[in-house]
Amino acid sequence: MTIADVSMQVYPVLLYATPPVGTTQTVTAGAPNQIVVTTQPAGAQPATAFTTQPVVELRDSSGALLSGNNTTQVTAAITTGTGASGAVLGPGGSLTAQASGGIVSFTGLTIDLQGSGYTLTFTATGFTSATSTAFDVGTPPTPTQLAITTQPAGAVPGVAFTTQPVVEICDGTGALVSTATHFVAVSLNGGSGGTLAGTLIVQAVNGVATFTDLSVNQAGTGYSLTFSAVNLTSATSNSFDVVAPGGGSTSGGGGGGGGGGCSADTIGSALWLLILLAAAAGTLRTARRRA
């Protein structure tokens, strides 16, 4: 046996030999699947859905999207020790969403307390967790004024306007305050002595008060509506006319009938006069024949 033959036989033994006692051997495994935040949460006000909801992706150890994953559930929660103490992520303190094509989109996330430095942590079984960038839950806007977004129109005496008014509750910049729930009252101005009917006080929903059945009983020109609420600057609509059917916007006619009622009465009287005249003429001809 030559030296070369010996070396060839010994080499495998040396390669796989057990390390000497007291030495350390490190084995590096592939990185696990991971969650990556691709859209950060933003635009948070207390108890109001974030204007920008978070989106996360499920990726493999190389960072590639797991586009075939449609089953993994990802849970969002406020990172412990961030934001205001006792704050709750809605609904129910956390939210779990399911992947679609490896992408998990959250909707309706809210935080109930104002505070700074919040982060959200996203977790799923079999994946390393991910944490969002820090964000604040700001001071909610203060309602200060009313603004009319839909003007009243299409008014006929005693009939609900075809276009009913809509009023928003706004802050000092004119932005809608979607958390406002004030009661908004409406009153009638000008015109020709008409009376406003319908539901005159409406509670705002998401900062918007929508009227549905307002009407004015008297035809006339130059009417307007004023909307008011406690501690808010009032708003007055554009002027509008209440026009009687078949006529101009003049007062009179009584109640919802307006000018149309008067025209109908005149026609009826003339008809009865013609009937009476015809009857009288017939009686006269009969009397002449007998004579």
CB atoms within 10 A of CB 206: 13
Which CATH code is given to the segment(s) 34-137? 2.60.40.10
**Whether the domain at 34-137 and the domain at 145-244 fall into the same CATH topology:** yes
Count of positions (residues) in the chain: 291
**CB–CB of 97/73 below 8 Å?**
yes
Asked whether the bond before 141 is cis by omega within 30 degrees of 0, the reply is no
Measured CA to CA in angstroms, residue 45 lies from 54, 137, 205, 232 at distances of: 15, 5, 17, 21
Q: Convert the pLDDT of each residue in 168-179 to its tens digit.
A: 999 999 999 988
**CB–CB of 146/166 below 8 Å?**
no
Given pLDDT bands bounded at 50, 70 and 90, which one contains residue 281? low
Q: Convert the pLDDT of each residue in 100-120 to its tens digit.
A: 999 999 999 999 999 999 999
Q: Convert the pLDDT of each residue in 222-272 to its tens digit.
A: 999 999 999 999 999 999 999 998 765 433 333 333 333 333 333 333 443
Q: Convert the pLDDT of each residue in 176-226 to its tens digit.
A: 998 899 999 999 999 988 999 999 999 999 999 999 999 999 999 999 999
- Tokens (6 digits) for 18: 């057990």
Residue 7: predicted pLDDT: 45
84-89 mean pLDDT? 96
Q: Convert the pLDDT of each residue in 9-49 to its tens digit.
A: 444 444 444 545 554 444 334 558 999 999 999 999 898 89
CATH class name, domain 145-244: mainly beta
Integer-rounded Cα radius of gyration of the chain: 40
pLDDT-wise least confident of 135-139, 166-170, 272-276: 272-276
Q: Tell me the domain boundaries of the chain.
A: 34-137, 145-244
